[in-house]
Amino acid sequence: MANPLTADQLSRLDAYWRAANYLSVGQIYLYQNPLLKQPLSLEHIKPRLLGHWGTTPGLNFIYVHLNRIITNRNENVIYITGPGHGGPGLVANVYLEGTYSEVYPEVSQDETGMNKLFKQFSFPGGIPSHVAPETPGSIHEGGELGYALSHAYGAAFDNPDLVVACVIGDGEAETGPLATSWHSNKFLNPAVDGAVLPILHLNGYKIAGPTILARIPHDELRALMIGYGYEPFFVEGDDPQKLHQIMAATLDTVFDRIRSIQRDARENGYRERPRWPMIVLRTPKGWTGPEQVDGKQTEGSFRSHQVPMGAMSHPGHVEILEQWLKSYRPEELFDESGRLRPELAELAPKGERRMSANPHANGGLLLQPLAMPDFRQYAVAVTKPGQLEAEATRVQGLMIRDIIQNNPRNFRVFSPDETASNRWNPVFEVTDRCSTAEILPTDEHLSPTGRVMEMLSEHQCEGWLEGYLLTGRHGFFSCYEAFIHIIDSMFNQHAKWLKVVNHIPWRPPIASLNYLLSSHVWRQDHNGFSHQDPGFIDHVVNKKAEVIRVYLPPDANTLLSVTDHCLRSRNYVNVIVAGKQPALQWLDMPAAIEHCRQGISIWDWASNAGDSPDIVLACAGDIATLEMLAAVEILWRELPQIKIRLINVVDLMKLQPTREHPHGLSDDEFDALFTPDRPILFAFHGYPWLIHRLTYRRNNHRNLHVRGYKEEGTTTTPFDMVVLNDMDRFHLAQDAIRWIGTLGEAGEAVKAKLQAKLAEHQTYIREYGIDLPEIRNWKWSGWDAIRAEKPE
C-alpha cells in the first residue's frame, strides 16, 4: 500500500515524532524553561552543552514507526540503538511512553518532571549522554561501536515471538565486527528463533568525515545487502510527510515478510535459509535541526554530529535554538502542565509492549536458573594423585553436553570453530553446530537447530553471547587463550555494563559471562609464538573487582567444580583457563570440591613441612602445577632435608587483599598460608608480574619469586615451552635451592645436575623432536615412595 497512513494518522504520528525531537533538543540544551513559557534566554541554557544531535531525529523516527507497528499488530519488539550516542532520543521516547517516570518517579510527566529530564541529561549527578544501562529498554550501551547487530541476533535466538529492531549507523557499519555480523542470518532459524530487523541508517557522516556506505552507488549498496543475504528496502528522503508514508508502508511489508517466513518454517518445517528483509533509511544528519549556523550548512552535515551550536553566547544562537525548538510546535504536543496530549499518548504501545518496558530488554526479569546436572557424576576416578591422565576440557564437555540437553531453549555455547578443538566433543552426542546455510552430506554435526554457535569471529561469538545473556539466558564461550584478546574491548564494555547495573535496582541480575580459555599458552608449541598469550587475565583484573572472577583449575575435577559454580553465578565475568591435552590428575572429587571452596589451599600430600617450611612452593594453572609438583619430587629425591609446603591456587583473586576484591584473603589468612618470612617460589600460568601486582601489599611479598610466561616460545615440544620460560621442573628446583639459600655445596651439586638435565633435554629434542621419555612418562611418586627408594 503506497500511503497506508490516513491524514489523521500521519498528523498524529508526525506530532509524536516532533515531541520526541523536542524532548531530545531540550535535553541537550535546556536548564530551565522546558515548555518555552518564557522567551528563551541564555540563563535557560545549560552552561556546558554535551550530547549528540546528529543521529537522534532518525532514531526517533524509527522509534515512532515501530510504535505504530507494535500497536497495530500487537508485535513484540525491542530496539537496539547502534548509534548509542543518540541517547537523548531514546530517553525522550522512554519518557513519552511513561516508563521513565515509572522507573524514576521524580522525573514525572509534567513540567517539573520535564525540567528534571532536561537538566539531568549529561549533567553531574544526572544521566550519561549515551544510551546506557540507566536507559530503560536498552541492552546495548552507546559506547564502542560495532556490536549492535551481534547483540540483536543474540537477543533473537530462542525467542520465537520477538522482533529485534536494530539500528546500525553508517559509521558503525565501517567497523569490522559489524561488517561480519550481517552474516548472522546464516545462524537464525525462523522455526525456533525470533527475527532481527536491521535498519541501516545512512545519515552520511561520522564525527568529521563522510561514511563509506553513504558514498557507494545505490546498486552497489543493494548488491552488498543481497550479498549478505538480505532483501533490502530503501526509505530515502528528507520530507517528513513523504517519509512517514514510505516508512509506514515499508514496515508493513517487512513485518508481513518476517511473519510469513516464520509461519512457513513453523508450519512446514525449516527448509532453506530465507532472505530476511532489512531497511536502508537515508535521512539527513541532524534532520529537522538548524539548516545553517554561522553561515555554514549544519543539517545534513557533519556539523550536526554533536551540539550544532556550542557557544550559546554567540550572537543569534539563542534565537536559532528557540526557533528550532518552536519548529516542533510544543504547544500542540504538551498541555499546559507539560503532559503529552492524550491523543498522542495513545499512540504508544501499552505495558510490556512498550519497547522501553519489554522484559526482553531487562533480561534478569526473565532469567530462569539452568537445570544443572550433578557435576560430581563426571568425576575422574582419582585414587592417588598424579597417576591417571585425563583431558580436563573433554570431561567438562560431558557436563556441558548434559546442560545442553537439560536446557534446550536457554543455553547455547559459542566458539570460533574451536568447540571440538577445545575438546568439548561430547556435546555433539546431543546437538550440532548451528547452520541455516547449505549443509552437505559430508558435513558432520551440522543442523539448523544446533546449539553450538560457531563462526570464525570472536567478535561474533562474544556479541551473540552478550545479546543472549542480556535477554535473560545462559551461555559459555570457549576460545583459544591467545585470541580472546580479540574481544578485549568488548569484554571492557560488558564489564562496565555489569558494574553499572549492580547499582540499578530495577535491573535484576543476569547470568554471568563465562569464558573457557583453552589451547593455552603452554600447549601452543605446535602453532608457535603467534598463538601464545596468557594476558587476557591481566586485562580482566583491571575491571571492577565486584564483577570479575578468574579461575585456574589444575585438573578435571576442579574444572568441573568451578564450571558448576560459574554457571550458577550472576552478573559476573568468569574466566576459566584449563588445558585440553591429556594431563595427570591430582584431586579426587571430594578434595576438588573442598579445594575450590577454599579457592587456595595447601596440598598436604605434596608437602612435608608441617608448620615450618623452608620454602613455600605455590602454583596456579595446570602446567604450572605439573612442573611444580615434578620439582617437588626432584627436591625430595636430591635434598630430602628440605621442608616444603605446596600451595595451589584455583581462584586467582584470593591473592588480592580483601579490601581490593571480595574473594581476597585477609592478611592473616595470607600469612598463614605463605608464612610471614619464608621464601616463596610461585609457578604461574600467565605473566609472572600479575602475581606481584596482586600481592604487592602482602607482608611476605619481598620474598616472593614468580616464574611464568615471559614471551618466549616457538614451534617446539611441550616441555621445551616451559624450559624456554624457565618454568620447568629443572629450573624451578634450582630456583628453590637458590631461594632457600642455606643448602651449601649439596645444593650447588644438585643445581649443576639439573643444569645438565636441561642440556640433555636440548640435545634430545633437537635430535628426536619429542621430549625425553622421563618427561613424557613422569608420574607422581609421593614422599613415602621416594623415601622408600633410599632406605638409608
Query: Which residues in the 116-155 window bind a second copy by CB under 8 A?
Result: 122-130, 132, 141-146
Q: Near a second copy by CB under 8 A, which window of 223-231, 625-633, 635-643, 735-743?
A: 223-231
Give the integer Cα–Cα distance in Å for 721 and 121.
Answer: 54
Near a second copy by CB under 8 A: residue from 42, 226, 752, 788: 226
- Least distance (Å) between residue 305 CB and a second copy: 10
Near a second copy by CB under 8 A: residue from 73, 394, 539, 643: 539
- Least distance (Å) between residue 544 CB and a second copy: 5
Range 500-519, binding a second copy (CB under 8 A): 500
Beta carbons of 686 and 622 less than 8 angstroms apart: no
Q: Which is nearer to a second copy, 177 or 386 (CB)?
A: 177
Cell for 103?
A: 522507573
Site string for a second copy, 739-768 (x = CB under 8 A): --------------------------xx-x
Q: Which is nearer to a second copy, 541 or 592 (CB)?
A: 541
Contacts of 72 (CB under 8 A, 6+ apart): none
Q: Near a second copy by CB under 8 A, which window of 5-13, 398-406, 536-544, 600-608?
A: 536-544
Q: Which is nearer to a second copy, 186 or 376 (CB)?
A: 186
Give the integer Cα–Cα distance in Å for 152 and 177.
Answer: 13
Side chain identity at 23, as an amino acid letter? L
**447 lines the binding site for a second copy (CB under 8 A):** no
Q: Which is nearer to a second copy, 420 or 786 (CB)?
A: 420
- Distance between first and last Cα of the chain: 99
Q: Which is nearer to a second copy, 102 or 144 (CB)?
A: 144
Q: Which is nearer to a second copy, 506 or 696 (CB)?
A: 696
Give the integer Cα–Cα distance in Å for 88 and 94.
Answer: 10
Q: Near a second copy by CB under 8 A, which window of 20-28, 357-365, 592-600, 714-722?
A: 714-722
**300 lines the binding site for a second copy (CB under 8 A):** yes
Q: Which is nearer to a second copy, 289 or 330 (CB)?
A: 289
Give the integer Cα–Cα distance in Å for 157 and 557.
Answer: 32
Q: Which is nearer to a second copy, 85 or 729 (CB)?
A: 85
The string of DSSP codes covering 89-104 is: HHHHHHHHTTHHHHHS
Range 10-49, binding a second copy (CB under 8 A): 31, 46-48
Q: Minimal CA–CA distance to 401: which of 389, 387, 386, 411? A: 411
**73 lines the binding site for a second copy (CB under 8 A):** no
DSSP, res 340: B
Q: Which is nearer to a second copy, 633 or 720 (CB)?
A: 720
Give the integer Cα–Cα distance in Å for 419 and 444.
Answer: 13
Contacts of 696 (CB under 8 A, 6+ apart): none
**209 lines the binding site for a second copy (CB under 8 A):** yes
**295 lines the binding site for a second copy (CB under 8 A):** no
- Least distance (Å) between residue 665 CB and a second copy: 17
Contacts of 651 (CB under 8 A, 6+ apart): 549, 550, 551, 596, 599, 600, 663
Report which secondary-structure segment, H or E, holds 557.
helix 556-568
Q: For the packed helices 7-29 and 317-326, what is the interaxial angle rounded to 10 degrees? A: 150
Q: Which is nearer to a second copy, 211 or 396 (CB)?
A: 211
Per DSSP, what are the bridge partners of residue 167? 81, 199
- Least distance (Å) between residue 33 CB and a second copy: 16
Near a second copy by CB under 8 A: residue from 323, 406, 542, 641: 542
Site string for a second copy, 565-594 (x = CB under 8 A): ------------------------------
**785 lines the binding site for a second copy (CB under 8 A):** no
- Least distance (Å) between residue 401 CB and a second copy: 16
Range 672-711, binding a second copy (CB under 8 A): 687, 689-690, 692-693, 696, 701, 711
CA distances from 380 to 76, 376, 383 (A): 47, 9, 9
What is the CB neighbour count within 10 angstroms for residue 57?
28
Give the integer Cα–Cα distance in Å for 710 and 726.
Answer: 9
Give the integer Cα–Cα distance in Å for 775 and 743.
Answer: 26
DSSP, res 356: T
Can you list the positions of beta strands (E) in 500-559?
A: 513-518, 548-551
Q: Within 13 Å of residue 342, how many CA atoms lie on the same side as its CB?
A: 0
- Least distance (Å) between residue 315 CB and a second copy: 22
**341 lines the binding site for a second copy (CB under 8 A):** no
Cell for 319?
A: 534565537
Give the integer Cα–Cα distance in Å for 740 and 241.
Answer: 84
**215 lines the binding site for a second copy (CB under 8 A):** yes
Q: Minimal CA–CA distance to 578: which of 602, 592, 558, 549? A: 558
The string of DSSP codes covering 245-314 is: HHHHHHHHHHHHHHHHHHHHHHHH---S---EEEEEEE--TTTTS-SEETTEE-TTSGGGSS-S---TTS
**488 lines the binding site for a second copy (CB under 8 A):** yes
Q: Which is nearer to a second copy, 73 or 539 (CB)?
A: 539
Q: Near a second copy by CB under 8 A, which window of 204-212, 251-259, 341-349, 732-740?
A: 204-212
Number of residues forming the site for a second copy (CB under 8 A): 119
Range 414-443, binding a second copy (CB under 8 A): 417-421, 433, 435, 437-440, 442-443
Range 594-623, binding a second copy (CB under 8 A): none
Range 152-191, binding a second copy (CB under 8 A): 171-172, 174-181, 183, 186
Cα 455 vs. chain centroid, distance in angstroms?
Answer: 16
Near a second copy by CB under 8 A: residue from 59, 77, 191, 221: 221
Cα 503 vs. chain centroid, distance in angstroms?
Answer: 19
- Least distance (Å) between residue 179 CB and a second copy: 4
Which residue has 502542565 as its cell numbers? 337
Range 275-294, binding a second copy (CB under 8 A): none
Q: Which is nearer to a second copy, 326 or 702 (CB)?
A: 702
DSSP, res 522: G
Side chain identity at 559, as an amino acid letter? L
Side chain identity at 182, as an amino acid letter? W
Range 377-396, binding a second copy (CB under 8 A): none
